[in-house]
Structure 1
Amino acid sequence: MLSRLEPSLGKLLISEPFLMDPNFKRSVVLIAEHQEEGTVGFILNHPSALMLKDLIPELGEADFPVYIGGPVGTDTIHFIHRCYDKIRDGEEIAKGVYWGGNFEALKILINNNSISPDEIKFFIGYSGWAEQQLKDEIEENTWIVSDKYHADVVFSDNEEEVWREVIINLGPKYAHVSKFPQNPNLN
């Protein structure tokens, strides 16, 4: 599978169907930062067993799922959101999708039940690549770069379908890939 797009801010990295690396198997990564020095992104479809209230006790009843953003910095919490009108902060990384913001203001909004889980996604850790590393992995067909998605995919809680949906959105040339089994030995 050849990707014609270059990675950049707001694009998705879609893992090839038989990637066996447990950190990235059937993953969809949203690129939050891309510069010559490297790339940062968050895996959108790998949930952890944790809820936000498990990590931040003062958030009491915050039943927001926490995703595994990647294998780097697993002692850090990050968030993306589509509620700039409420948080009034964050860096726009895709149309209507923001990374970060004022966490103290966010905690107040969460405790007031002013934000719902379909507006925000939390991550422990992130995915990171050194300056040439991601380019090499794309050339090795580990990743497909895509800009064909809707923000609803980013905030979807149907982790099983996210990878399949973004593959299908690539068009008929790739749609058959969405039906590949996770284990190639099952063919």
Structure 2
Amino acid sequence: MQIKTITKGNILIAQPVLNDHTFNRSVVLITDHNELGSVGFILNKPINHSVNTFVSELESDFSVYEGGPVETQNLYYLHKRPDLILNSEPISKGLYWSGEYEDVKNAINNGLIDESEIRFYLGYSGWGENQLQSEIEDNAWIAVEDDVDIFQDWDNNLWKLQMKKLGGEHLIWLNTPADPSMN
């Protein structure tokens, strides 16, 4: 269901007219939203590197996803194990972000957490005060309340699935190329 007012836990679906390489056909989970701005992570863009490529002390080949264009030198994580990762920030429905890095390292290296419970992102998506609301009003994004399992192996199929759920005029975009000039 489309919404006009953003809260954390909402999903953003990039409109096909959003001509931005980073956000083209992106689905973004909003992890924080307040009067100062918004933070989220792109859910459907794996970068084909494992987490131990970036942090050698993590004994894991868990996938890493492009989180967004902000602070791309930093690694972030979403998870569903606040019992193992202290000081986690709740997002919605058993989903958390951040928390103590040492807890993450210990949980991974001791086999206490698996890839279906944590997801890593390089960088994040961020918007300043009123910026995201303005982009939604300009039809760059469709905001929805949805239960997306962020721990599935999503790629652009997630974007297509979300467009299909929206139905109507959005169905025309399902079979068009990401770059319409290639049509």
Contact 2:17 2:140 in 1 (8 A): no
- What is the CA–CA distance in structure 1 between the aligned matches of 2:126 and 2:23, rounded to whole Å? 12
Structure 1, residues 67-91: CA drift from partner, whole Å, max 9, x if none?
A: 1111111121110012234435411
Verify: 1:182 aligned to 2:147, yes or no.
no
Change beyond 3 A, Cα 1:16–1:81: same
1:87-166 mapped onto 2 (5 Å cutoff): 87-150=85-148, 152=149, 154-166=150-162
Verify: 1:76 aligned to 2:78, yes or no.
no
Offset of residue 162 of structure 1: 1.3
May I ask how many residue pairs the two structures share in their alignment? 182
Contact 1:167 1:178 in 2 (8 A): yes
Deviates more, 1:172-181 or 1:35-44: 172-181
Match of 1:33 in 2: 32
- Match of 2:174, SS? helix
Contact 1:27 1:46 in 2 (8 A): yes
Offset of residue 178 of structure 1: 3.0
More helix by share: 1
Offset of residue 49 of structure 1: 3.2
Equivalent residue in structure 1 for 2:164, among 149, 162, 168: 168
- What is the CA–CA distance in structure 2 between the aligned matches of 1:90 and 1:32, rounded to whole Å? 12
Offset of residue 132 of structure 1: 2.1
Identity of aligned residues (%): 42
Match of 2:15 in 1: 16
- What is the CA–CA distance in structure 2 between the aligned matches of 1:58 and 1:38, rounded to whole Å? 33
TM-score (norm 2): 0.89
Verify: 1:42 aligned to 2:38, yes or no.
no
Contact 2:84 2:103 in 1 (8 A): no
Offset of residue 21 of structure 1: 0.6
Structure 1, residues 135-169: CA drift from partner, whole Å, max 9, x if none?
A: 2211111000011233x2x1221312111122223
- What is the CA–CA distance in structure 1 between the aligned matches of 2:161 and 2:87, rounded to whole Å? 29
Change beyond 3 A, Cα 1:118–1:163: same
Contact 1:146 1:170 in 2 (8 A): no
